[in-house]
Amino acid sequence: MFENFGFIAGATRHHHRPALADAPVVRIALIALTLIFLGMFLFIPLAAVFTEAFAKGASAYFAAISNSEARAAIRLTLTTASIAVPLNVAFGLAAAWLIARFDFRGKQLLVTLIDLPFSVSPVISGMLFVLLLGVRTPLGGWLADHGIRIIFAEPGIIIATVFVTFPIAARELIPVMQAGGRDEEEAALVLGARGFQMFRRVTLPNVRWGLMYGVVLCAARAMGEFGAVSVVSGHIRGATNTMPLYVEILYNDYQFSAAFAVASLLAMLAIVTLALKQAVGRRVASTIRAAAPAESIEQKAA
């Protein structure tokens, strides 16, 4: 009798399913919907870009990405990113250090202001710079009289790109610095390290993966920015067109094969960025997980 009860209980335990577990049919349906969505909005468009890029053959493809206007667009895109990324990384380090290490009045306001470019349309951001630095404004007119042209020139493109990308590095570094705590830095100061020495030997190694993550995301956004750059560039062929703007011009001129050829370069940059983001993101997550237990132990001890 008891054996039967044991058999029944064992069978019940064998068929028991956790309350939060989904049925196999539900899991299969969710996976299928995810794959369909990715196929329709990612894989098929990506394949279409490369298919159209090589529709007229490899010679036409390489001719489209190697002419003078394409080279100028690639050069301007890389130049803008190479200037915007270091500036934003420097700002991100300073802002993350200030927010994670110090308590002061207006701290939440500063965090809100850092997020401002995320909440403002890039087109509106470009219009703000036109209204501020255009040749018909007092400041822009004074700069133009002294031979400095901002709007419809490369400096305006760089400024607009810096503005729309500056929160990215800070937003990646702030949680990493907060999770790491300040004990190691205080110990370094107690042992006689100077401020910059402590920052270089303790702080930077602890946040290096968060810093790399911010660099990757910032570079991707800088090279792919369209809205703000479109407003301040003037669309001058061979002078103020970045790669996204050049793709738009080619497409509007019905040069579809050339447009997709240049777009394929942006797609390859996106794929490389995604791979780097995935690799660095894992290291960032492991760094935060490693710092979290130590922080909890310190809180319990306190």
Q: Look up residue 43 and give its DSSP letter.
A: I
pLDDT at 3 over 60: no
Please give the span between the terminal C-alpha atoms of the chain, in angstroms, as a whole number.
56
Q: Which residues contact 52 (CB under 8 A, 6 or more apart)?
A: 256, 257, 260
> How far apart are the C-alpha atoms of 264 and 53, rounded to whole Å?
7
Q: Give me 83's structure tokens.
A: 């200037």
- CATH 1.10.3720.10 residue spans of the chain: 57-301
Q: Which of 14-18, 27-31, 279-283 has the highest mean pLDDT?
A: 27-31
Instruction: Spell out the residues 6+ positions from residue 57 whose beta carbon is closer than 8 angstroms to its own.
Output: none
Lowest model confidence (mean pLDDT) among 33-42, 148-157, 285-294: 285-294
Q: What is the pLDDT of residues 218-257, one digit of tens each?
A: 999 999 999 999 999 988 888 899 999 999 999 999 999 9
H-only helix segments in the chain: 2-15, 24-38, 44-53, 58-66, 68-101, 107-114, 116-119, 122-133, 138-145, 154-180, 183-190, 195-198, 204-224, 227-233, 243-252, 256-301
- Residue 60: alpha-carbon gap to chain centroid: 32
Residue 169 near residue 152, CB atoms below 8 Å:
no
Answer yes or no: CATH 3.90.1150.10 is held by domain 57-301: no
Which residues are CB-neighbours of 43 under 8 A, at least 6 positions away?
A: none
Return the ∠ at Cα 245 (arms to 241 and 248), rounded to 5°.
Answer: 135
Q: Given a cut of 80, is residue 291 above it in pLDDT?
A: no
pLDDT in tens, 161-204: 999 998 999 988 988 888 877 788 778 888 887 777 888 788 88
Which residue's structure tokens are 């997980």? Answer: 289
Q: Give dist(CA 4, CA 1) in Å, integer.
A: 5
